[in-house]
Amino acid sequence: MKILIVEDEIELAKSIQQYLQRENYLCEVAADIAQGRQMIEDFAYDCILLDINLPEGSGLTLLKELKQDKKTDGVIIISARDGLEDKVLSLKLGADDYLAKPFHLAELSARIEAIIRRRYLKGESRLSYEDLVIDTLARSASVEGLPIQLTKTEYELLLFLMINKGRVITKNAIAEHLLGRSALYLDNYDIIYAHVKNLKKKLGSMGSSIKTIYGTGYKFT
């Protein structure tokens, strides 16, 4: 799986690259529009992370060109602007997703996964780890072939952890993934603990894959 990051903030691009490379992703970085254009022409990517504010212009021009050339690369816009009009415009131009900075890398990872799944796996939309299988189309999970009844929240939680397999996911990132902006108003993380506890119980033998990292969050291994 190949990913292109078009981002002029080198520190930012490097962090994303570093984070994603721990998956099986192959990450390349383009620091400006010209370089990005060249790389898109030369190679095919599974997903392109495109910044809007670039020194020589808007990343959206690149998006327009991409759609004119009928390229099928998935595109996630990453932008410091979180204005609605930017979001709407980007999605109208054919972007698959829009993330406003600053986001969690775990969240980015989940969105990339979702796009790649949507584009290539189509009917075959299963994610598995040992005996645990998630069917993202049916939004269901099973352990050793036996279906488990998960609530919507538990399902989202499990998917999020599985996508970020092997990484420490903070309570913040989980809260933000599940609650969106209202996560800021949480008094404590008891609700996250409760849902993780329930999920672990429901997963039975596979429950031990979700490790609690003291003081920080969780890790799926």
Partner 1 sequence: MKLLHYTSLRHLLFASLLTLVSIPVFYILLNNIFVHSIDRDLRMQASQIPSIVSIIQTPADFQLWKELDNDLDIQPIDSVAFHDKPFTIQRQSADGTDPEDFRILQKKVEIMGKPYVVSIESSLFEKEDLIQTILTIQLGILILLLLGTVGINYFIHKRIWKPFYDALAYLKAFNIESDNMQLPKRLKIQEFKELNHSVQQLSIRVRRAYHSQKEFIENASHELQTPLTVLKFKLELLLQQQDLTGEQGELIGDMYREIEQMQELNSNLLLLSKIENGQFADEETVHVQETIEEVTEDLSLLAQSKAQSIQTDFATPAITLASANKTLFKIMVANLVTNAIQYSASGSTIRVKLTATFLQVCNPGTPFNISSEKIFKRFVRQNKQKGNGLGLSIVQTIARYHHYHISYDYNNGTHQFTLRWEPVSKSTEKASPAIALL
Binding of partner 1 by 55 (CB under 8 A): no
| 80 contacts partner 1 (rule: CB under 8 A) | yes
Total residues in contact with partner 1, by rule CB under 8 A? 47
Residue 203: partners with Cβ closer than 8 Å, 6 or more residues away: 132, 141, 143, 148, 158, 209, 210
**Span of 58-66, 99-107, 131-139, 196-204 interacting with partner 1 by CB under 8 A:** 99-107
User: Which of 4, 5, 6, 16 contacts partner 1 by CB under 8 A?
Assistant: 16
Nearer to partner 1, 40 or 47 (CB): 47
Q: Determine, following the binding rule CB under 8 A, whether residue 120 of this chain makes contact with partner 1.
A: no
Q: Which two tokens stand for residue 175?
A: 């809260």
Q: What is the spatial distance between Cα 196 and Cα 220, in angstroms, rounded to a whole number?
A: 11
Amino acid in the structure at residue 195: H
Determine if 104 is a binding residue for partner 1 (CB under 8 A): yes
Interface stretch with partner 1, choices 26-34, 61-69, 102-110, 198-206 (CB under 8 A): 102-110
Q: Which residues contact 54 (CB under 8 A, 6 or more apart)?
A: 6, 8, 32, 33
Q: Check binding of 23 to partner 1 (CB under 8 A).
A: no
**Side-chain-facing half-sphere of 7: CA atoms under 13 Å:** 23
Q: Which is nearer to partner 1, 19 or 129 (CB)?
A: 19
Q: How far is the CB of 26 from partner 1 (least distance, A)?
A: 18
Contact at 8 Å (CB) between 98 and 121?
A: no
CB of 8 to partner 1, least distance (A): 9
Interface segment toward partner 1; rule CB under 8 A; list 30-38, 134-142, 197-205, 208-216: 208-216
Query: Contact with partner 1 (CB under 8 A): which of 81, 119, 126, 165?
Result: 81
Site string for partner 1, 179-198 (x = CB under 8 A): xxxxxxxxxx-xx-------
Report how far residue 34's alpha carbon sits from residue 42's, in angstroms, rounded to the nearest whole number: 12
CB 192 within 8 A of CB 175: yes
Q: Is 44 in the site for partner 1 (CB under 8 A)?
A: no
| Cα separation values, 192 from 6, 54, 140, 199, Å | 34, 37, 20, 10
Please, what is the angle between helix 152-163 and helix 190-203, to 10°? Answer: 80
* Contact set with partner 1 (CB under 8 A): 9, 11-12, 15-16, 18-19, 22, 53, 80-84, 100-106, 153, 167-168, 170-173, 176, 178-188, 190-191, 213-217
